[in-house]
Amino acid sequence: MSGSDLFVANGTGGTVGEYTTSGATVNASLVTGLFSPDGVAVSGSNLFVTNMTYPGEIGVYTISNGQAALSNSSLITGLDGPQGILVIAAPMPGSGPLALLGSMALVGGMALRRRIARKQ
């Protein structure tokens, strides 16, 4: 899902379609010519699609205005039946969490020094 659009793999049809979250068709054949696509993932304007060719692969398409342009059909290759994929955006920590982490490390280091000093 991206914004208000939902991307659906049609394994038997070899396509990926784009639909709104209310169920309206944007483009039922957004991506065609696939062999049993099973997984889709979206990151920004990139659509990642599994393709069960042998060996299996994951391709990437650029989506815009209900159309898809192939960027790289073999982004990842040599897979054995790729089925589900997921894109996870790792947020960059802000200064608050980094300051907290640094403070925790400082306090932990001081406590460790005290324990070592007591044992000596």
pLDDT at 9 over 90: yes
Q: Where are the domains of the chain?
A: 5-89, 93-120
In tens, the pLDDT along 59-96 reads 999 998 889 999 999 999 998 888 888 887 766 656 66
The reported pLDDT for the residue numbered 2 is: 61
For position 4, what pLDDT does the model report?
80
The answer to whether 58 and 49 are in contact (CB under 8 A) is: yes
pTM for the complete prediction? 0.71
**What is the Rg, in whole angstroms, of the alpha carbon atoms belonging to the chain?**
23
**Cβ-based burial of 9 (10 A; exposed 0-12, middle 13-18, buried ≥19):** buried
Compute the distance between CA of residue 118 and CA of residue 53 in angstroms, rounded to an integer: 65
Closest-CA residue to 58 (of 32, 77, 41)? 77
- Taking the C-alpha atoms of residue 17 and residue 90, their distance in angstroms, rounded to an integer, is 27
pLDDT digit string (tens) for 90-118?
A: 666 566 665 665 555 555 555 555 666 66
* Model pLDDT for residues 10-59, shown as the tens digit of each residue: 999 999 999 999 999 999 999 999 999 988 999 989 999 999 888 889 99
